[in-house]
Structure formats: C-alpha cells, structure tokens
Structure 1
Amino acid sequence: MRDLSRFSHRELAAFICQHLRGRGVDAVLTGGACVTIYTRNRYKSTDLDFVNVSGASVNVIDAALADIGFLPEGRIYVNSKVRYSVDILNPPLSIGENKISETNTITVKKMALRLLIPTDSVRDRLAAYYFWNDLQALKQALMVAGSNPIDLEAVEKWSKKEGAREKFRMFREKLEKNKL
C-alpha cells in the first residue's frame, strides 16, 4: 500500500478519485476541498467530500476505501496515517434541487481528479451562506470567485431562484470590492 501520509490535499483527492474509479465508483469532489484547490491552499479544508455519482453500493465503497486504509467511522472514513477524512455523499451531484452535469477534471501527478467547476464551487459555498447564514462559506465563495473565472450571471440567476437576491447582492458587492 502507498504511503498516503506524504500526499498533499490535492494529491490525496486525486489518488482517492482515481482509486475509486478503478473500483467502479465514479466520484466528484465537492465542498470545501474544491475551495482548497481553487484557492491554491489559501483556504485549508480538513476533509475530502465526494459525491458518488455512479450510485455504487456502500459495500463497494467501503471495500474500495479499506483497500487504501480508510475505514468507516460513522458516516465518514478515516485513515490514522492521514490528516484528512473522506465523506462519500449519495447522488445526485447537485446544489439544492439544481442537478450538476458539467464537472472539471484536473491532472495531479498523472492522476485524474473530477471536481466541481469554479462556478458550481461558488454556488455550493453560497448555498451554505444562503440557507444557514454560514459566513465562512461566504468567505470561501468570495475566495473562489476572486481567484477563478466564474459565470456570475449563472450564479445570480440561481440565487434569485433560491430566493436569495439580497444575499447575492451582498456577495457581488464584496466580490467587486475585493477586486479593486
């Protein structure tokens, strides 16, 4: 078994994604881990959240992750040699009721990592801000939007559908202020 303790956050995410794919599990990285990648580690997530878009069974996922030393503890998987936990979320890949079809694939040390596109990473973080008033999630959305090209019109349209017009306005103002 490979020594995962030396892997960076990005390397571990790519390794797990590729390992799962080899076991028939198509997984897409979401959540704060995408923020870590899109902000080049300015934000540091302590976990790796994947959506099991293939709908593989828990038994298949448990066995695949056990192969690389991650064992279930409640709903997350931990490896005592690694500082990051892993969570495998059920399909579909979505933000609220909005299903996501487009993903990004990056290569990390010859390993393919599927993750949310920057626009959807921003929407994912804004969802936590909109629905739970999570100010840390707002900050994360601003960090991703300030560091990557995003489709701000799509974010605005989605925000209006979610009934968060005023919170989106605040997000946009903060984003424009940060770009000055």
Structure 2
Amino acid sequence: MNIDWQKAGIKKLVAIISAHLQKNGIEVVLVGGACVSLYSDNQYMSYDIDLITESSIRKIIPVLEELGFKNTGGRLFENPQCKFLIDFPAPPVSIGDEPISKFNNLKTRFGTIC
C-alpha cells in the first residue's frame, strides 16, 4: 500500500497504523485527542495519536519503522512526511484511577480502530 502521509486524514492514519501493529501482534487502543477528533468529525483536531498497548517499545520500533516512523526517544515516533506524532502512553487505559476494559471498535476500509 502506497501511503501519502501528508494528505491522509487522521482516521485513515490511525486505521493503517493500528492494522499494521495488530498484524505484527501488537494490540493498541486509541485514546486522547485523536480519539476525540474521530468522534467529533474533526471539530477538535489533535496532531498526536495516542495508542495504549501492553507491548514493549522495543517490539514496536521495528514495526513502525516499516511505515517510516522513527523513535525519537521514549515512547514518541515521528515520520517527516506525516504531520501527526505517535505516542504510546503507559497502560492501562483508564479515566482517572478507573481502569477501562470495554472498548468500541470503528471499522474502516483500512482497518479496525479500537
């Protein structure tokens, strides 16, 4: 798949990235501003994609490198052709101190977003 990172919208990017991670055994859940962007039809726009996973950054690095994203230190990844940063906040998925265990999926033609 040839991806134009500069023109792709946030939904397409998140779906492609999530599907690629999942194909490589890395389950992720979208949280934060990008999640709000999707559910508000971009009325709020975030330029970082926060994905929570139990997988290690060492496992994530080579998978995201296949998509042109480089680890910039810690849990952040960037691609010079993409206006969005990818961040992997520490698990678990929670609201305050309350862990969340039930998630909705958004199916797209590029992949499923959890």
Give the TM-score of the pair, scaled to structure 1: 0.59
* Residue-by-residue CA offset, 1:8-66 (whole Å, 9 max, x unaligned): 111001111111111111000000001101110111111100001xx212111111111
Per the alignment, residue 74 of structure 1 pairs with 73
Q: Which structure's CA Rg is the greater one?
A: 1
- 1:4 deviates by 3.8
Q: Deviations over 1:84-119 (max 9, x none)?
A: 0000122211122211011110112241111xxxxx
Report % sequence identity.
32
SS at match of 1:32: helix
Report the secondary structure of 2:86's partner residue.
Answer: strand
Contact preservation (8 Å) 1:4, 1:12? no
Q: CA deviation at 1:74?
A: 2.5
Q: In the alignment, does 2:62 pair up with 1:63?
A: yes
Distance between the aligned counterparts of 2:13 and 2:49, measured in 1? Answer: 9
Partner of 2:22: 21
Match of 1:30 in 2: 31
Distance 1:105 1:23, change over 3 A: same
Of structures 1 and 2, the one with the larger relative CO (CA 8 A, separation 6+) is 2
Runs of 4+ off more than 3 Å:
none
Matched residues in 1 for 2:62 and 2:24: separation? 9
Aligned amino acid, residue 111 of structure 2 = M
For structure 1, the residue ranges without an aligned partner over 5 or more in a row are 115-180
Quick one: which amino acid aligns to residue 14 of structure 2? A
Partner in structure 1 of residue 11 of structure 2: 10
CA-based RMSD of the aligned residues comes to 1.3
Matches within 5 A, 1:19-168: 19-52=20-53, 55-75=54-74, 76-114=76-114
Q: Whose strand proportion is higher, 1 or 2?
A: 2
| Aligned mates of 1:4, 1:42 — CA distance in 2 | 23
Higher helix content, 1 or 2: 1
Number of aligned residue pairs: 112
Give, in whole Å, the separation in 2 of the partners of 1:113 and 1:10: 9
Separation in 1, partners of 2:59, 2:79: 18
TM-score (norm 2): 0.91
